[in-house]
Amino acid sequence: MPRVLSVFAETFPLHSPFRISRGTKTAAEVVTVMISEDGVIGRGEGVPYPRYGESVDSAIAVIEGLRSAIERGADRHEIMQSMPAGSARNAVDCALWDLELRQGGGDVAAALDLPVPLAPIVTAMTVGLDTAENMARAAAALAAAPLLKVKVDRRDPASLMRAVRAAAPKARMIVDPNESWTIDEVRDLQQLMIELKIDLLEQPLPADADCDLVGFRSAIPIAADEAVHVATDLDALPDGYGVVNIKLDKTGGLTAALELAAAARQRGLGVMTGCMICSSLSIAPAWAVAAKSDFVDLDGPLWLAEDRSGGVRGANGLLSPPQPGFWGGI
């Protein structure tokens, strides 16, 4: 039977609003790809991100533009050359991974030398941007989690960080300003972050201003998120960064994410695996990178009112893998 591509939008409402410095989300808007061949179906998901000039409609249009090539049998490496990095390529790449593994009777764990069976991993649990009082309340509810990710902006981040730390004194902590700080604020908040035992500061500066980090030696490791999408971006990365946050929706799929992880390690950089607000269909392929990462932030599906059937499960900051057969043989 010939290969057939299906691509469509899906919406997953959240159980509560997700707030960061750039705005608030109440639903995950995703693009789902299904590629069927000889009765076997591979699935993938992408989350278009306005920060990168993407929308659901534009992502679907990019995929439709490659329909003939995909249905003719283009493999992942051809897609890498034909589609730009981003959520559209992510959905197609991950669907092709799933299809290949199902056709071959294998699984991604064996293909990528991951532990079998896959064990639960510690994921950051996000405390969304809000008032100090509300963030403290949210942190208290998550205090048993080993790792928290705290969203802040320029409006008194010190008070927000203090409130969360007081409510969750034992948790490791990532602080994420989502590009809202200046280099002066990074400097001025160094001592406080040391006192609060912050483990990681994620993308504090706008990506187009990260040249301010050249030569900067932070007491808190700084992770590049918006500043790095694919492996070639590392060539221009300022030396003030010590960690790279890998998201499949930025790299354009698992294939490119694995390349970025290997390149980052070769440069002595730490690796973090992140995600957008998404369903478990985005998390399953990201697990292949997360299993060997220093930091993991894959709580996207835990914000959904209802996830896909058979997806990941979370409890007290531990994320359990999807049910067998959900994606890629895992």
**Where do the structural domains in the chain lie, given as residue ranges?**
4-104, 111-320
Query: Which CATH fold would you assign to the domain 111-320?
Result: TIM Barrel (3.20.20)
**Catalytic entry in 25, 149, 197, 247:** 247
CA 105 to chain centre: 28
Q: What is the mean pLDDT of the chain?
A: 96
Per CATH, the number for 4-104 is 3.30.390.10
Residue 137 — pLDDT band, cuts 50, 70, 90? very high
Say if residue 69's pLDDT is above 90: yes
Say if residue 271's pLDDT is above 90: yes
> Structure tokens of 291?
């299993």
What is the distance between the alpha carbons of residues 56 and 173, in angstroms, rounded to a whole number? 32
Beta strand segments in the chain, E: 4-20, 23-37, 40-46, 121-122, 125-127, 147-151, 172-176, 200-202, 222-224, 243-246, 270-273, 295-296, 313-315, 318-320
151 catalytic? Reply is yes
Residue 91 — pLDDT band, cuts 50, 70, 90? very high
Residue 243 — pLDDT band, cuts 50, 70, 90? very high
What is the distance between the alpha carbons of residues 304 and 319, in angstroms, rounded to a whole number? 15
**Catalytic entry in 25, 151, 250, 292:** 151
170 catalytic? Reply is no
Say if residue 61's pLDDT is above 90: yes
Number of Cβ within a 10 Å radius of residue 304: 19
Residue 151 — pLDDT band, cuts 50, 70, 90? very high
For the residues 248-255, what does the mean pLDDT come to?
98
What is the distance between the alpha carbons of residues 68 and 180, in angstroms, rounded to a whole number? 42
To which residue do tokens 């971006």 refer? 233
For the residues 260-274, what does the mean pLDDT come to?
98
Give the CA-trace dihedral at 255, 55, 131, 190, to 10 degrees.
Answer: 40
